[in-house]
């Protein structure tokens, strides 16, 4: 078995933030993969190391210049926080660190979605952002099977993550009533807020509840 990259090992060993930052400054690549194809953020999400997530995203944000486009949208260039959060894991259904967090740790998921480098400022006071909400593009991210963060949270029975995702998904409401739309030829109704589905379907038409009733996915479920 090949040894894990130093950054991965430090995260699993819960080394202090200063030690992680030293590795990053020394040239360790946060997008380096272990033999399972997982990046440092995948590992941090899996073990619930919120300090490692914070240090890694802060470091990537400082190195990404400019950090936002003229429209205000986060830059998605290689090595940017967005790039690290959406990195696909080959052999793991191309799951991103966000998917891993949705399955394993609600606090990590909230930090990833609302990190100031990738979130939308919700309000401000004297020009200082106070409060933020996730970019819809992150909430809507899918793996190679078409499964969303909601699928992963439900499959893993991760109630804290599920509550976070439902809260943020509904926050895209514009104040109008939910917009029911017909879902394919199934005859069922899918509630959407601002285009973000609260009952998303994967590539074979399964909603999160379908997946849970089928027993979940052993790759993503901690049970």
Across the chain, mean pLDDT equals 80
Closest CA to 41 of 79, 87, 102: 87
d(CA 14, CA 17): 9
d(CA 127, CA 29): 34
The predicted structure's pLDDT at residue 91: 79
Q: Read off the tokens for 126.
A: 């004297």
Residue range of the domain that includes 42: 6-213
Q: Read off the tokens for 33.
A: 């993969």
Contact 193, 173 (CB under 8 A): yes
- Encode pLDDT of 199-209 as tens digits: 677 777 676 66
Q: Read off the tokens for 108.
A: 């990590």
- Encode pLDDT of 175-197 as tens digits: 333 333 333 333 333 333 333 45
Cα 141 to the center of its chain, rounded Å: 8
| Residue 221 belongs to some domain of the structure | no
Look at the chain and report how many structural domains it folds into: 1
| Residue 109 belongs to some domain of the structure | yes
Q: What is the pTM of this model?
A: 0.80
The predicted structure's pLDDT at residue 170: 66
| Residue 223 belongs to some domain of the structure | no
The label of the residue with tokens 């401000």 reads 124
CATH number at residue 15: 1.25.40.20
């Amino acid at each position: 078995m090949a040894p894990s990259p130093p950054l991965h090992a430090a995260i699993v060993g819960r080394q202090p933030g200063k030690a992680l930052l030293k590795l990053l400054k020394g040239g360790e690549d946060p997008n380096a993969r272990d033999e399972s194809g997982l990046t440092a953020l995948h590992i941090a999400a899996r073990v619930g190391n919120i300090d490692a997530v914070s240090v890694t995203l802060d470091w990537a944000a400082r190195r990404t210049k400019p950090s936002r486009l003229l429209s205000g949208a986060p830059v998605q260039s290689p090595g940017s926080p967005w790039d690290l959060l959406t990195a696909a894991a080959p052999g793991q259904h191309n799951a991103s660190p966000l998917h891993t967090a949705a399955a394993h740790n609600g606090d990590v998921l909230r930090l990833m979605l609302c990190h100031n480098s990738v979130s939308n400022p919700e309000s401000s006071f004297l020009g200082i952002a106070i409060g933020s909400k996730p970019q819809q593009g992150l909430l809507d991210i899918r793996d190679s099977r078409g499964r969303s963060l909601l699928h992963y949270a439900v499959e893993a029975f991760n109630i804290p993550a599920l509550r976070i995702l439902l809260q943020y998904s509904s926050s895209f409401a514009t104040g109008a009533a939910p917009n029911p739309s017909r879902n394919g030829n199934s005859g069922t109704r899918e509630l959407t807020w601002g285009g973000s589905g609260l009952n998303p379907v994967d590539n074979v038409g399964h909603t999160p509840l379908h997946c849970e009733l089928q027993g979940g996915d052993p790759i993503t479920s901690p049970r």
